[in-house]
Structures are given as structure tokens and as C-alpha cells.
């Protein structure tokens, strides 16, 4: 629900927060940070600072006792996200009041830590990870490269296709990604060889953090799935396309995906995103209607998020020369064919249980135009069309020491723009 915490006229006593493109008081993104003198603990991004939540719990206790108890001495956000949605909303309102009322500045200003002295960590202990395939333009483009006569498989418009990813290799933004090795089958060869991947790619996604919990054997109805969506982070689900091409039949990707997933350190809560909800991706004439367990009028009207994400690349030569990263693609989450609630309802319809700390990737988000591609596989047409960088370098897939940077935001007339921070990593040699 939209409330006073979304009022664009609200101001914050933290210097610079009102002008910050990502973290004004209307956002209150959450993460886990540490400093040289203290270990990992909950923080809230506000302007160019991080609010040390542990230092202000006594000021928030009266209005958000459940959340304060969950965050006391915590080094992850799991306990907070396990609470009912109303408890999370109460905590947001309490923090908003603290930071927007100048009367609290004297008592709370000592809890502010400059963001540039903070080390960020994974915001939650990842309990399980599922990656969906909800980007229909990505699925169509990649499918046309592999199966020109039948780009989308028959089930795509009936079910939110997904697979189980690997939670152990999820790392926070800023952690380098080592080039993977595995079996690849060179063009024209009869048998595979063991080799380093030469077709390493990024995949621009959103990570949906689950809140609350469900019981094994009890599906989560789509009408209540919304309360189990606690927040959103930027996510890069790296892919080794040459390893994937050899291994994915019949059970899908394995080593091509499980070597690394990068997630941004900040979780933009579902409450902060309320003004940026929008209607579900329109279905074309002839598309099947969602089955009943995937259909909800409110979700169809307000279940998608209008989130924009840019993906940029900076090579080692560009960094050495002091050059800015180059924009490779700009996408919108409105191009996802399925909403987060539909993904979660499908995930649990067979009785699979969920809990705080579960992470769902949306799948690669792409648009219909070349400027809206969320992977190099699409941009280079499977490696056939090299991309020329401003300094003359070319790429079909990622080279060693390339840095991939994703930056996201949400904006709408009448509301303050909010952002997601960066999701970035450098490719290290095998």
C-alpha cells in the first residue's frame, strides 16, 4: 500500500540524502555491512551513508518491536524477512519517521557511517535459489539462435519455467568471478574436450527475496503470494555458453551456471516499491490465459514492477586509461512475461515450502530492440556479430579482467526516484 513513506515532498535530515539518485528517505534499502572496528550487521542506505540499525533500535522499539527484536545482534536479514509483512511495514514507517523528523537528528546522527568505509556482505543467508526464465524477449531471441523454427517451447506461455540453481556460489557485488572450465564440444568435433570457457556471459536479472514461510505440502495461493515477496536486488546469473551448449540436454544447465551468481548488496523492500507496481506483461492475441492457480485480477493489474536496469562493461584497458564503462543494454522489468507472484505461486503449487532467505531469479530480462538486450549471447547473435567498444576493442563474449556493472532504478511521476545500487564483478582468469 502507498502511504506517507512514499511522499515525494518528505525530506531527510541526513546531508545529501534528498538529492541522492538511489537512496533518499523514500527508499530505505537494507543490507549487511561491516567496518574495520565492527563485524557484519544490518544497515539502511540513506544518501551516501549507512544507518547502523543496531545503534537506533532503542529509538524504534516502541513502534516496531517485532522487527527490532529480529534485528537485535543480527548479522543477516533473515529473521526480519521471516516476519509477517505488516511487521516489516511497521519497521519501515518507524525508520522513515526517525530520518525525516529533525527532532531525532541529535540522537540518531551518531549511527550514520560513511558508505565509502563500509564493506558490504550478502544481505541474507541464502537458503535456496531458484532461477526462472520469465524474460520472453530473451527466451525468444536465444531460442531463435538455437531452434529457428520453434524459438519458444510449447510450455513457455503456460508455466513460469524455472530450474534449481546453486546457493553455495552466490556472492555479493564486488567479488571477482573466476572463469570456469568444463566439457565443451568444439564446432565440427565428434567428442568434447575439457577446456576453459571461451563464451562466458552475463545475464541481467532481478533477484526476488522471499519473506515469511510456508508449510511443506501447502501451496501459497497467488492472492497471498504478494505478502511473501520481501524485496528485490539486482542479480547477475553468469553463464558459460559453450559448456551449456554441450550439457543442457536433457536436464538443463549444470556446470554452465553453478560456478557463480552475483547479487547486489542492497535489498529494496517490497514496501518501497509499491508506487512502482504496474500491470502484468500484455498477452498477445492467441496466447493462452493463465491457469486458475496463476490468475489473480489484482496481480494482473499491479503485480509487475516498473524497474529499469542498465548493464555496462569496462575492460582492463578502459580502466587503465581512465575510461568510463560503456553501456551495453538498458532493460525494463515490465518485459517479464510472468510476475513475481506467479513465479512464487507456481513454485509452491506442488507443496514445495518456502522461507525467508530463499532467492528467486527472474531470468534474463531483455526487450525487443538491440539496445535492450540483457546478455552478450543476444547482442552478438551467438558470437557471430562482434561488439566494438569505444576504444576499438571488440567482444563477442567476456574477456579476462572485464568488469560487468549493473545499475537499476525505479521512477514514476509524483514519486521520488529510488535505486538499487550496483551489482558488479570482474572476470578473473581460470
Residues of the chain where predicted confidence (pLDDT) is lower than 70: none
Query: How buried is 166 (Cβ within 10 angstroms: 0-12 exposed, 13-18 middle, 19+ buried)?
Result: middle
Asked whether residue 191 is assigned to any structural domain, the reply reads: yes
Give the domain range for residue 67.
Answer: 4-121
Q: Are residues 201 and 257 in the same domain?
A: yes
Q: Among the residues of 359-417, which ranges form H helices? A: 376-379
* Cis, peptide link before residue 264, omega less than 30° from 0: no
0.95 surpassed by pTM: yes
Asked whether residue 356 is assigned to any structural domain, the reply reads: yes
Q: Are residues 110 and 176 in the same domain?
A: no
Reduced DSSP (H G I as helix, E B as strand, rest coil) percent helix, strand, coil of the chain, to 5: 25, 30, 45
State the total domains in the chain. 2
Three cell numbers, residue 320: 587503465
Q: Are residues 262 and 352 in the same domain?
A: yes
Please choose, from the candidates 234, 233, 174, the residue with its C-alpha nearest in 3D space to the C-alpha of residue 426. 174
Q: Are residues 206 and 347 in the same domain?
A: yes
Q: What is the pLDDT of residues 280-339, one digit of tens each?
A: 988 999 999 999 999 999 999 999 999 999 999 999 999 999 999 999 999 999 999 999
Q: What is the pLDDT of residues 37-56, one digit of tens each?
A: 999 999 999 999 999 999 99
Cα angle 18, 22, 23 (rounded to 5 degrees) comes to 55
Q: Are residues 237 and 354 in the same domain?
A: yes
The pLDDT assigned to 318 comes to 99
Relative to beta strand 394-395, strand 304-305 is unpaired
Q: Are residues 167 and 274 in the same domain?
A: yes
Q: Are residues 104 and 140 in the same domain?
A: no
Asked whether residue 311 is assigned to any structural domain, the reply reads: no
Three cell numbers, residue 303: 503485480
Q: Are residues 9 and 71 in the same domain?
A: yes
The pLDDT assigned to 172 comes to 99
Task: Say whether 138 is catalytic.
Answer: yes
C-alpha–C-alpha distance, residues 346 and 340, integer Å: 10
Q: Are residues 253 and 187 in the same domain?
A: yes
The pLDDT assigned to 146 comes to 86
DSSP, collapsed to helix, strand or coil, labels residue 87 as helix
**CATH number of 90's domain:** 2.30.30.230
Q: Are residues 164 and 53 in the same domain?
A: no
Domain boundary among 343, 370, 397: 370
Active-site option among 6, 49, 121, 138: 138
Asked whether residue 380 is assigned to any structural domain, the reply reads: no
Domain boundary among 121, 152, 178: 121
Domain boundary among 121, 151, 167: 121
Amino acid at each position: 500500500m502507498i502511504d506517507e513513506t512514499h511522499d515525494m515532498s518528505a525530506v531527510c535530515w541526513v546531508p545529501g540524502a534528498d538529492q541522492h539518485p538511489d537512496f533518499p528517505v523514500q527508499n530505505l534499502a537494507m543490507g549487511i555491512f561491516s567496518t574495520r572496528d565492527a563485524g557484519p550487521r544490518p544497515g539502511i542506505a540513506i544518501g551516501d551513508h549507512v544507518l547502523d540499525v543496531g545503534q537506533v533500535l532503542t529509538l524504534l522499539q516502541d513502534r516496531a518491536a517485532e522487527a527490532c527484536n529480529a534485528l537485535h545482534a543480527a548479522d543477516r536479514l533473515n529473521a526480519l524477512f521471516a516476519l509477517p509483512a505488516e511487521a516489516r511495514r511497521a519497521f519501515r514507517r518507524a525508520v522513515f519517521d526517525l530520518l525525516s523528523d529533525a527532532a531525532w537528528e541529535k540522537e540518531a546522527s551518531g549511527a550514520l557511517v560513511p558508505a565509502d568505509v563500509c564493506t558490504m556482505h550478502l544481505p541474507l543467508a541464502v537458503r535456496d535459489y531458484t532461477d526462472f526464465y520469465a524474460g520472453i524477449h530473451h527466451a525468444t531471441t536465444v531460442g531463435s539462435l538455437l531452434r529457428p523454427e520453434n524459438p519458444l517451447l510449447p510450455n513457455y506461455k503456460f508455466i513460469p519455467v524455472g530450474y534449481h540453481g546453486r546457493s553455495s556460489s552466490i556472492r555479493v557485488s564486488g567479488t571477482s568471478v573466476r572463469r570456469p572450465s568444463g566439457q565443451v564440444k568444439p564446432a565440427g568435433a565428434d567428442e568434447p574436450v575439457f577446456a576453459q570457457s571461451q563464451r562466458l556471459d552475463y545475464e541481467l536479472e532481478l533477484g526476488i527475496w522471499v519473506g515469511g514461510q510456508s508449510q511443506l505440502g501447502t501451496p501459497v495461493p497467488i492472492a497471498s503470494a504478494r505478502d511473501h515477496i520481501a524485496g528485490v536486488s539486482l542479480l547477475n546469473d553468469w553463464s558459460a555458453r559453450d559448456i551449456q551448449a554441450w550439457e543442457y540436454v536433457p536436464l538443463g544447465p549444470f556446470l554452465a551456471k553453478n560456478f557463480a551468481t552475483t547479487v547486489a548488496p542492497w535489498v529494496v523492500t517490497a514496501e518501497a516499491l509499491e508506487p512502482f507496481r504496474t500491470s502484468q506483461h500484455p498477452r498477445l492475441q492467441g496466447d493462452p490465459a493463465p491457469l486458475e492457480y496463476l490468475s489473480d485480477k489484482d496481480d494482473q493489474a499491479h503485480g509487475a514492477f516498473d524497474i529499469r536496469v542498465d548493464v555496462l562493461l569496462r575492460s582492463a584497458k578502459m580502466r587503465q586509461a581512465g575510461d568510463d564503462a560503456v553501456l551495453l543494454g538498458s532493460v525494463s522489468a515490465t518485459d517479464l512475461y510472468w510476475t513475481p507472484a506467479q513465479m512464487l505461486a507456481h513454485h509452491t503449487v506442488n507443496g514445495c515450502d518456502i522461507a525467508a532467505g530463499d532467492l528467486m531469479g527472474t531470468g534474463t530480462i531483455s526487450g525487443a530492440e538491440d539496445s535492450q538486450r540483457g546478455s552478450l549471447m543476444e547482442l552478438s547473435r551467438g558470437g557471430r556479430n562482434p561488439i566494438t567498444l569505444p576504444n576499438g576493442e571488440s567482444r563477442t563474449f567476456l574477456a579476462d579482467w572485464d568488469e560487468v556493472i549493473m545499475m537499476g532504478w525505479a521512477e514514476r511521476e509524483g514519486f521520488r526516484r529510488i535505486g538499487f545500487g550496483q551489482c558488479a564483478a570482474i572476470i578473473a582468469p581460470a
